[in-house]
Structure 1
Amino acid sequence: MLPVIYSMSVSLDGFIAGPDGDISWGAPDAEQFRLHIEQTRDIAAYVAGRGVYQDMLVWETAEQTMPGEAELEFARIWRAIPKVVFSRTLHSVTGNARLATDDLATEVDRLRRRPCEGVVSIGGAGLAAAAIAEDLIDEYRQFVCPSILGNGTPYFPPLAQPLDLRLIESRIVSSRVVYLRYQRMR
């Protein structure tokens, strides 16, 4: 079965967005963006909430709006990934996406059982919180940025039980961001 990952930029104090939803503090530089491209190549399926899905729509028209070679490479990879979108308000989605028809655990299980290689990636704090509550996530990946936000959207939701994790990778990216990869201990 494919592993399920949750990967986001996170402030030093544990937030993925500031109090007003601002994520500009975590914008990747060229080296970090290259790492994102390489990791995106490994995504076999992507599960997103409405907000992340809509934020990522910019990659559907990257050829018209983004001149950079790296951005166009990311866009080509991103568009090819099958996506499942959870939303209470959207009635349709575009590109290589479909609206979820089942609950999160069922949709994730279906994606994990696909006969391919790679990972299933979950995007969006609310959806990730639901996946964490159901213990669906196998790996947590953080790009820890040297910013302290003081408040905002946390990477981890409040937990009823501790999660036991094992560090399986760490590295410094661009001399300012620390990449941490943890595996769920089961």
Structure 2
Amino acid sequence: MTDSLVIMGVAGCGKSSLGAAVAQATGLALVEGDDFHSEASRAKMSQGIALLDADRDGWLGVLGEQLRAHPEGLVLTCSALKLSYRERLRQAAPGLRFVFLDISREQAQARVAARAAQHFFSTTLVDSQFATLEAPTGEAGVLRVDALKSLDQLQAEVTEWLTAKKEQA
């Protein structure tokens, strides 16, 4: 049973911030999924071109390798927008859990616009993220949280959930 966790959701939902907070609170390693996109994929996204499944294939493979390389557990930030992407990550780490940062399109758009100077992701891609999103509602091992809560509230909610899951195991 892995102690790994994916912080998932559309661009701008707060994956990196929550991932860092949870990693610090739990002592788990943090793997920032965006760091593993190919240069070609980064270029596409910065130009406002949405990634296709083929673009994400190698990236998901590398993220799976990261999960396997940390059998002690880790916190991975990854959009994991489609069920097929989540299933691929689950194959790499049986028992993998997901925290779904749920946010409205308008709020995500505002957050992506606010960070535009520091991040490669184009604001024009927010709509494509929502079009691609297959919300993990009803999937086992998924905690849905409100992305608009404070970072402290979110970190506490996730850490409490992880602790409760460990006690049940």
Which has the larger strand fraction? Answer: 1
With normalisation by structure 1, the TM-score equals 0.37
Q: Which has the greater radius of gyration?
A: 1
Which has the larger helix fraction? Answer: 2
With normalisation by structure 2, the TM-score equals 0.40
